[in-house]
Amino acid sequence: MYRTHTCGALRIENCGEQVTLAGWIQTIRKFGSITFVDLRDRYGITQLLFGETLNKQLEETPLGREFVLQVNGTVTERSNKNKNIPTGDIEITLTSFTILNKSETPPFTIQDDTDGGDDLRMKYRYLDLRRNAIKKNIELRYAVNRSARNYLHENGFIDIETPYLIKSTPEGARDFIVPSRMNEGEFYALPQSPQTFKQLLMVSGYDKYFQIVKCFRDEDLRADRQPEFTQIDCEMSFVEQEDILTMFENLVKRIFKDVKSIDYTAPIERMTWEEAMWQYGIDKPDTRFGMQLCNLKFPQHSFPTKENISAIIKSDFAVFNDAETVIAIAVPNASDYTRKQTDELTEWVKRPQIGMKGLVFIKCNTDGTYKSSIDKFFTPVQLKNIATTCHANSGDLILILAGAEEKTRKAIAELRLEMGKKLGLRKDNEFKLLWIIDFPLFEYAEEENRWVARHHPFTSPKPSDIETMINNSPIIENAADYLKHPYANIKANAYDLVLNGNEIGGGSIRIYQKELQQKMFEALGMNQVEQQHKFGFLLGAFEYGAPPHGGIAFGFDRLCAILGGSESIRDFIAFPKNNSGRDVMIDAPSTVDEKQLNELQLMLNTKQ
Ligand code: ASP
């Protein structure tokens, strides 16, 4: 038997017991004629005491960090107790030891605060995974997985696997493709998600499906994206939006309970996409704090019915006058920001990622006066009016951005999050869920002058918008006026679940009638031939009794990262890829040999 106990098991009550442990050497501390070793395994760390006799043996068989050691000995009470670890009251007074395997000196320390940089840790990920900090993330991931499985199983869902080698079908991102040896000149694609398969399972009558499944998207990797990632993918038949929202907010609440012991009893707020965009500038707002946006000047094309309040900012200030939009936030209790601090914020909004030309601020001083960076252009009464419009209180700092609508809204949304962070309003241990509903069905793709599906082509329009979709041609006559096209106002039966400013899940009620699905494909610019070529199987299935259905998919990696209080999904994936999509440990992707290429009938067009 290799071990009687793990390195995390023994306590003061075990004193006097003869035990055998096995694990890795974390540290070695020599004190004259005795040596202490910390032995580590998945379960914890136990201190070993090498007395005089064994200590002598160490001269012939020296130990090293990360050696795999098996030891026999007696559990003894420690004189110098360590309150920081559960086994800290005891140590093992050894009677014998065996080195099961030696180790090279590891390239970085296997400790919570390691000295290894990201690249090194990725190259030696199998060592990084030994670190407690990563191990607890991997364990948390398993806990989330188990909790989700239990909940879904208890609610009648069954786990059905769907294929990874599928057909290349446009679903938004770029496909990874895989050449087929047996079918010369033909390719499979890896699924961006099991979307069409789960819908086909509904046609087959499996009315509650789930899968914790890998998805593959060949996208340029923005920060913290992975080319392969995991979804908790679900679909149900005979449901309306309300059924889905209830079923899956309870799933997330259950995960909170099981994994974090949090009773999330508060009702989950629902916000329309339009409200989110106007109040927060983003479709996944972090509502743990307020600081809502205030529009001081509306773009001409939006909300014609809304009163345009630009009158209050009438002045000679060209920055506001020339801008399409002027948007403000009132930052609570920040009117005492120094010149240096406001300068830093200005630099922050000018960074290329944000891309604004400058930042205007108004300090609402506690003595009732106003001090702003635009004092030259605005009277104190005007400043006061702006402050009132922004619902700013005395002591607040108003920050204002002006420019093109989309860019400015995005930028102020980022600035709001940044200020939330600075003010400590985005706490890791506070969780706020939010449904965003009523998304637009379409988005306008400027480069192609056509509509694209905002979610995916299988999402249904709101029943009240079906007529508009059927009775109007998708053609956009004048690109500049695309917002006037009836399609711009069609709403989708789609919903996203947002947690602390992150989209953790998204889904929709699907189209299940062949004609409407064809109309949708047509709206996206696909002719009959293309429709048959790409989605003939789905249109065919819809001829054989497709039930009304809908579903959702959760970003499993992201959900784990948020629950673990981290911003990086990589720390929650055992073997992640780096920012260039490489696995630097196994060195993939890599070239293949000539023979493999020949078998696949492939020739590389490598540039000389
Ligand atoms: N397949 C969708 C996605 O990956 C989710 C869904 O609509 O259920 O975003």
pLDDT at 605: 86
Q: Average pLDDT, stretch 352-356?
A: 95
Supply the pLDDT for residue 303.
47
Examine the pLDDT at 608 and tell me if it is beyond 80.
Answer: no
- Based on the fold, state whether residues 259 and 140 are members of the same structural domain: yes
Domain coverage including residue 370: 289-426
The CA 197 to ligand 1 mean position distance, Å, reads: 11
Q: Is the pLDDT of residue 351 over 60?
A: yes
The band of 309, judged by pLDDT with boundaries at 50, 70 and 90, is low
pLDDT level of residue 315 (50, 70, 90 thresholds): confident
Res 238: pLDDT: 98
Q: Is the CB of 196 under 6 A from ligand 1?
A: no
At which of 399, 426, 453 does a domain end? Answer: 426
Q: How far apart are CA 452 and CA 391, in angstroms?
A: 38
Domains identified in the chain, total number: 4
Q: Are residues 341 and 390 in the same domain?
A: yes
Ligand 1 centre from 156 Cα, in Å?
A: 20
* Residue spans of alpha helices (H) in 494-543: 514-523, 528-541
Q: What is the pLDDT of residue 305?
A: 40
Q: Is residue 174 part of a domain?
A: yes
Average pLDDT, the chain: 94
Q: Note whether 465 and 369 are same-domain residues.
A: no
Note the pLDDT of residue 171.
Answer: 64
Nearest CA owner, ligand 1 atom 7 = 507
Please state whether beta strands 228-237 and 269-272 pair in parallel, antiparallel, or not at all (unpaired): unpaired
Is 200 found in the same domain as 232?
Answer: yes
Residue 355's pLDDT band, with cuts at 50, 70 and 90, is very high
CA of 292 to the centre of ligand 1 (A): 29
Does one domain contain both 69 and 94?
yes
Residue 8's pLDDT band, with cuts at 50, 70 and 90, is: very high
- Tell me, yes or no, whether 387 and 452 share the same domain: no
Question: With the C-alpha atoms ordered 486, 491, 493, 497, is the resulting torsion angle positive or negative?
Answer: positive
Cβ-count burial 43-76 (b if 16+ within 10 Å, e if not) = ebbbbbbbeeebbeeeeeeebeebbbbbbebbbb
Question: Does some domain include residue 205?
Answer: yes
User: Same domain for 215 and 302?
Assistant: no
Query: In the listed set 57, 79, 101, which residue is the last one of a domain according to the structure?
Result: 101
Question: Considering only CA atoms, which residue is closest to atom 6 of ligand 1?
Answer: 507
pLDDT (0 to 100) of residue 297: 84
**Is 258 within the bounds of a domain?**
yes
- Pocket of ligand 1 contains residue 193 by CB under 6 Å: yes
| pLDDT value at 213 more than 50 | yes
Residue 606 covered by a domain: no
| For residues 571-579, average pLDDT | 95
**Number of residues in the chain:** 608
Residues sharing a CB contact under 8 Å with residue 185, sequence separation 6 or more, in sequence order: 601
% of the chain with per-residue pLDDT over 90: 87
**CATH value at residue 564:** 3.30.930.10
Nearest CA to ligand 1 atom 8: 552
Work out the number of other CB atoms within 10 angstroms of the CB of residue 2: 9
Residue 479: per-residue pLDDT:
87
Ligand 1 site-directed mutation target among 157, 197, 231, 511, most atoms within 8 Å of CB: 231
Taking alpha carbons only, the member of 230, 59, 225, 205 closest to residue 148 is 230
Domain with residue 306: its CATH number is: 3.30.1360.30
The pLDDT score that the predictor gives to residue 80 is 92
The minimum-distance atom of ligand 1 relative to the CA of 508 is 7
Based on the fold, state whether residues 470 and 418 are members of the same structural domain: no
Which of these ranges, 164-173, 350-359, 423-432, 496-505, has the smallest mean pLDDT?
164-173
Q: Examine residue 564 and state whether it is found in any structural domain, yes or no.
A: yes
Q: Is the pLDDT of residue 222 over 90?
A: no
pLDDT in tens, 540-549: 999 999 999 9
Query: 553 C-alpha vs ligand 1 centroid, how far in Å?
Result: 5
Same-domain pairing of 206 and 319: no
Count CA atoms closer than 13 A to 324's CA, side-chain side: 11
Q: Using CA atoms, how far apart are residues 323 and 429, in angstroms rounded to an integer?
A: 39
Q: Is 70 exceeded by the pLDDT of residue 312?
A: no
- Domain end position, chosen among 426, 461, 480: 426
d(C-alpha 506, C-alpha 233), whole Å: 10
User: Where does residue 549 rank: exposed (0-12), middle (13-18), buried (19+ CB within 10 A)?
Assistant: buried
* Pairwise CA distance, residues 16 & 245, whole Å: 56
In terms of domains, do 42 and 146 share one? no
* Ligand 1 centroid to residue 221 C-alpha, Å: 19
Residue 300 above 80 pLDDT? no
Say yes or no to pLDDT of 469 above 60. Answer: yes
Q: 594 CA distance to ligand 1 centroid (A)?
A: 38
Residue 299 pLDDT grade (very low, low, confident, very high; cuts 50, 70, 90): low
- Alpha helices (H) along 180-221: 195-203
pLDDT at 306 over 50: no
Model pLDDT for residues 475-528, shown as the tens digit of each residue: 998 888 898 999 999 999 999 999 999 999 999 999 999 999 999 999 999 999
> Quick check: is 274 in a domain?
no
Asked whether residue 366 is domain-assigned, the answer is yes
Q: Are residues 81 and 180 in the same domain?
A: no
Residue 304 — pLDDT band, cuts 50, 70, 90?
A: very low
Question: Which residue has a Cα nearest atom 4 of ligand 1?
Answer: 193
Do 347 and 476 fall within a single domain? no
Residues 172-195 have pLDDT tens digits of 789 999 999 999 999 999 999 999
Helix 528-541 and helix 514-523: axis angle, to 10°? 150
Q: Six-digit token pair at 41?
A: 């395994």
In this predicted structure, what is the pLDDT of residue 88?
98
3 state SS for 271-332:
EEHHHHHHHHCCCCCCCCCCCCCEEEECCCCCCCCCCCHHHHHCCCCHHHHHCCEEEEEEEC
CA–CA gap between residue 219 and residue 176 (Å, rounded): 9
Average of pLDDT values for 576-581?
Answer: 92
The reported pLDDT for the residue numbered 311 is 55
Span from the CA of 200 to the centroid of ligand 1 (angstroms): 14
Is the CB of residue 295 below 6 angstroms from any atom belonging to ligand 1?
no
Closest CA to 410 of 304, 325, 338: 325
Between the CA of 166 and the centroid of ligand 1 the distance, in Å, is: 16
Distances, alpha carbon 68 to alpha carbons 79, 404, 577, in Å:
27, 62, 28
Among the listed residues 181, 158, 169, the one whose alpha carbon sits nearest the alpha carbon of residue 234: 158
Q: CA dist 383 to 237, 290, 399, 411, Å?
A: 56, 22, 12, 22
371 inside domain: yes
The stretch 247-254 carries a mean pLDDT of: 98
